[in-house]
Amino acid sequence: MRTKFAISQLPARQIGNVQYDHSMENKYYTPKTLGDAIGVSQSSLKRWADRGLLNVERTVGGHRRIVLEEALRFIRESGVSIVKPDLLGLEDYDIDTEGQDLDSADKLYYALHAGDETGVRGLVLNQYLEGRPLHEIFDQDLQPAMTRIGLLWHDDISGITIEHRAHDICMQVLADLRFRLPKVFTKGMAIGCSAPGDSYSMPTALVATALRAEGFEAVNLGPNLPLDALMDECKKVKPVLVWISISHLKKAHILRNDLRDFARFLRDQQGALVIGGSQVSRLRLDKDPFVLIGKNIHELVSISRGLVAERMTGEKTQETKSEE
């Protein structure tokens, strides 16, 4: 094992172009990564390194590189706390992962599986801060993870508790997220719920959160809402968009007709109905021109953008002259 010293220039050793030193299985971190991970500025990190508090190696070009063990030693001995553990790859939910690299969806699954509330929050928040759209995180990470956890259900009785706990954690993180989103509601009102008889609360919460991120003033009415109550509310607030999530379906034929009518009612007051959820296909409403279908949250968000765009142009012509 090669000795590592700070400050003085190390012998030329090309480590810059790879993040891994394959010969030693060492992982290097840049000052930015480590700085973000422990929540200090790069300036401070540089100063500490130059003072010898943190041992760094240097690339040929003079850039600092920090080995994982040294980063950990420094964190432990200096007493600084880790703000974003996942930046260091430290979220080891070692259930059946043998040191392999996990993508964000896998990490989320393991964190949910382990009931690690803080971990889940951190993972989702970081993804969002790194610029990933919420609908993408939801569609590609959160929902698959929950589906996967739902499958445990069949294997073992403990799968039920894991699923319930994961559900609770998701709802908490969603609430946290919804609250932290900038409250700029430029696109009008959106309102939604789960279909009557459907008591799944997560899908509709996901939609509400994603739509808030899109700039809608999204009001979530939660699971299992009678359609006439929803209609009554729509008469009052005139939403641009109404979503209904359908993850559990009892009386398909009744709901189908109700949704048809509801969509037309909304149309009359310049609103649109978007339905989604795992059971939506059973309703066979894909031919109906007034009922929009979002197969996932991304689609729903796309539809919402279309609606707003259309509304803009529609209002512009309406200002001048309204023609049939």
**Interface ranges with DNA (CB under 7 A):** 14, 16-19, 30-33, 40-44, 46-48, 50, 56, 59-64
> What, of a second copy, DNA, none, does residue 181 touch, CB below 5 to 8 Å by kind?
a second copy
Q: Which of 25, 28, 35 is nearest to 10 (CA)?
A: 28
AA identity, residue 159: G
Residue 22 within binding range of a second copy, rule CB under 8 A: yes
> What, of DNA, a second copy, none, does residue 128 touch, CB below 5 to 8 Å by kind?
a second copy
Tokens of residue 180, six digits: 């932290």
Residue 282 within binding range of a second copy, rule CB under 8 A: no
- Size (the chain), residues: 324
Residue 232 within binding range of a second copy, rule CB under 8 A: yes
Q: Would you tell me how many other CB atoms lie within 10 Å of the CB of residue 36?
A: 20
Residue 121 within binding range of a second copy, rule CB under 8 A: yes
Residue 5 within binding range of a second copy, rule CB under 8 A: no
Least spacing, CB of residue 43 vs DNA, in Å: 3
What's the CA gap between 293 and 130, in Å, rounded? 29
Which residue do the tokens 């919460």 mark? Answer: 205
Tokens of residue 155, six digits: 């294997």
State the alpha helices, DSSP H only, in 141-251: 143-155, 158-180, 202-213, 227-237
Are 14 and 60 in contact by the 8 Å Cβ rule? The answer is yes
What's the CA gap between 94 and 110, in Å, rounded? 8
> What, of DNA, a second copy, none, does residue 136 touch, CB below 5 to 8 Å by kind?
none
Residue 125 within binding range of a second copy, rule CB under 8 A: yes
Contact pattern from residue 43 through residue 82 relative to a second copy, giving x for each residue in contact according to CB under 8 A and a dash for the rest:
-x---x----x---xxxxx----------------xxxx-
**Which residue, 40 or 308, is less far from a second copy as judged by CB?**
40
Residue 86 C-alpha from the chain's centroid: 15
Residue 269 within binding range of a second copy, rule CB under 8 A: no
> What, of DNA, a second copy, none, does residue 64 touch, CB below 5 to 8 Å by kind?
DNA
Q: Which of residues 147-166 bind a second copy (CB under 8 A)?
A: 157-158, 160-161, 164-165
What's the CA gap between 34 and 55, in Å, rounded? 13
| Three-state SS at 317 | helix
> What, of a second copy, DNA, none, does residue 46 touch, CB below 5 to 8 Å by kind?
DNA
Backbone angles phi, psi at 320, to 5 degrees: -75, -60
What's the CA gap between 138 and 155, in Å, rounded? 25
Least spacing, CB of residue 227 vs a second copy, in Å: 11
Least spacing, CB of residue 63 vs DNA, in Å: 4
What's the CA gap between 33 and 208, in Å, rounded? 32
What's the CA gap between 151 and 172, in Å, rounded? 22
Q: Which of residues 191-230 bind a second copy (CB under 8 A)?
A: 193, 199, 201, 205, 219-222, 225-226, 228-230
User: β-strand 241-245 against 272-276: which pairing, if any?
Assistant: parallel
Least spacing, CB of residue 221 vs a second copy, in Å: 4
Q: DSSP letter for 280, please.
A: G
Residue 90 within binding range of a second copy, rule CB under 8 A: no
Q: Which residues bind a second copy (CB under 8 A)?
A: 7, 9-10, 16-17, 20, 22, 24-25, 27-28, 35-36, 39-41, 44, 48, 53, 57-61, 78-81, 83-84, 115, 121, 125, 128-129, 157-158, 160-161, 164-165, 167-168, 171-172, 174-176, 178-183, 193, 199, 201, 205, 219-222, 225-226, 228-230, 232-233, 236
